[in-house]
Structure 1
Amino acid sequence: MSLLLSNVTKKFGEHVAVNKLNLEIPDSELFGFLGGNGAGKTTTFRMILGLLDQTAGEITWNGESINYHKSHLIGYLPEERGLYPKLKVKEQLIYLGKLRGMTKQSALTELKKWLDRFQIPNYIDKKVEELSKGNQQKIQFISAVIHRPKLLILDEPFSGLDPINVEMLKEAVIDIKESGTSVVFSSHQMSHVEELCENICILRDGTAVVEGNIKEIKRSFGKKNVRIVSDESIDFLQDVNGVLSFKRRNDGCELQISDEQVSQEILSKLAGNGFIRKFELEEPSLNDIFIEKVGENYE
C-alpha cells in the first residue's frame, strides 16, 4: 500500500515543470521533497492531489487514482495560505471539517483538541485577521488535519514560524505519522527534513537528482566532514591534500574532506599544535549534498 508516481511529467507549453518522476512512498512514512524555487515540488503536489493533470505518467494511491471521492482521506497545506480573514476560527474550521464529511460536533471536538495542543484555546472565536502570522499558520495546519486524513501533503509547513512553534509543529507531524498517516512535505530547511524523514527526493528543474534513504545517500556521497575545536590557529589545515573546503569558526574550523583517510593525516598535522578540544569525523550533512547537487544554498 503506497503512493506511487510512475514516469510523471508535467509540461506548461514548452516548459517541462516535472520530468519523468518515479517515486514510491509507503504508508505511514514521512517523506521529504527538497528543491529550490521552481524545482517542481508544488507542481508535483498538485498533480498528486488531482488539482493538475499530469502530461504523462501515472499517479496512484493504494492502487487507485486520486479523485474527488477520496478527498475526505487527504489533507493539504498549501504554500500559499488560504484562510478567510473575516471569518472566526470556529466558523471556518467547522465549515472545512463538514466539507470533509465531518459532523459539526466532531469538527468542533477536533478543533478544541488541536487548539489546546497548540496553546491557543482562546482563539476559537477570534477572526483569522486578528491572529499573528504564526498563529494563522497553526489554524491553517489544523484545517489540513482536522478530519484525520490518511495522506497529508504539507507544502513548506514551517515557513515563517519561530523556533518554538516549529518544534510544536514538528511534534504534531510526527504524531500524525505515528498514527498511520502518510506525510509528504517540502521544506527549504535541510535540517527539518534531515530530522524528520527517512527518505527524500531532491528536485532540480523538475528532475529528481537525488532520491532514496537519507542514511544511504550520505554513505554513498563519499565526502566527509571534520569538526575541530581548538584555541590555536589551525588555518594551515586548508593546505592538507584531500581537504576540499575549509570554514573558520570562532572556536575552530569545519573541513570537508575527500574521504575519511584524510582525517588521519589531519590528526598527525595537529600533533604538537596545542590542545585540541574536539575532533569529530561526520557524515556529510543533507545541506552539503543539496548544495552539490543543486548548485545553490537555499538554507
Structure 2
Amino acid sequence: MLEVHDTESLAFKYEIALPAKRAQALNYRGLVRASGNGRFVLVQNATPATSITVVDLQQRKVVSEVPTPGCWGILPAASHGSRFSMLCGDGKLATVTLDDSGQVSDRQIGEAVFDADADPWFHHAEQLGDRYWFVSFKGVLTEVDLGGAVAVVKSARPLVGAAGQRAGWRPGGYQPFAIDPSGRWLVVAMHDKGSEGSHKRPARRLWMFDMAAGTRVASAPGQGSVSLTFSRSGQRLQALDGEKGALHVWRWGERGKLTPISSVARAGEAAIHLESHD
C-alpha cells in the first residue's frame, strides 16, 4: 500500500493499493519519489525485473507501469513536472518523460557517464533543482543536469589527491555525502585503507569541500558516520553513526567548522538513512 499522510500533523489521509512488486530494500531516497509537479508518486519495483509504478495522486490510483530493464532508482527533474531519470548498470543514465495521464511519452538513454566495473557510483545523490551530484567509490564527484530529455554531465572532479589515494582514502556509507542548500559546501564520509567492498565502511574522517573553489577546506573526526544530511536551513549538519547507532548534530560554521549541538545515544534500532524536514 502507498499511504498518504499530512506533512504537518502526520495524520493519515488515504491509501492506494500498489502491485505486489515494490522493491523490498533499504529506504534510499530513489525508491519512492514524487514527480516534480507533485502529481505522481513513482515507486521502484523489483521482481527481480525492474520497473516503476506510476501512481496518480489526483485520481488516487495506479495509472501505469514503466519497464526499466537494467536501471534502478528514481531521480525526478524539477523543471519538468513529469520527467525522471535512473542510473543503469552499463554506466548510463536513462530518462523517461510521462504525459498528463502518466503514460510514457518519451524515453532516452545518454552516453555512459561512469564505468561500473572500474569505479561505480553510489546510488545516493544530492539534488538542487535539476542539478544532481553523485560520488564514485573511489571519490570522484560528478554533477549531472537531469532537466532535459537526455542527462548532461556538467562537471567531474576527484576529491582524493595522490597522497590520499596511496593511503586508500575513499567515501563510504549509505548517504556518504551531503551538499548544503546553497550548493556551496560538500561533506563526505571518508575512510582510509579502502579497497574493493569497503564502500559501506563507516567514516574515520569527515572531509569538507568548498564547491565554488573546488578545494578541501576542513576535516573532522568521522564519528563512525554512514549517513549525512544538512538541515533545510543549512545551519546544521546531521550524521548517523553506523557503529553505535547514535545521531550527531553539529552547527555548521564558515568553511566547515563544526560545533556540537547534541547527540542521541541510540537514535533507532538499525537506523540507516537520514532526512531533515526543518
Does TM-score exceed 0.5, indicating one fold? no
Superposition TM-score, scaled by structure 2 size:
0.27
Task: Say which one has the larger Rg.
Answer: 1
Q: Which has the higher helix share?
A: 1
- With normalisation by structure 1, the TM-score equals 0.26
The structure with the greater share of residues assigned to strand is 2
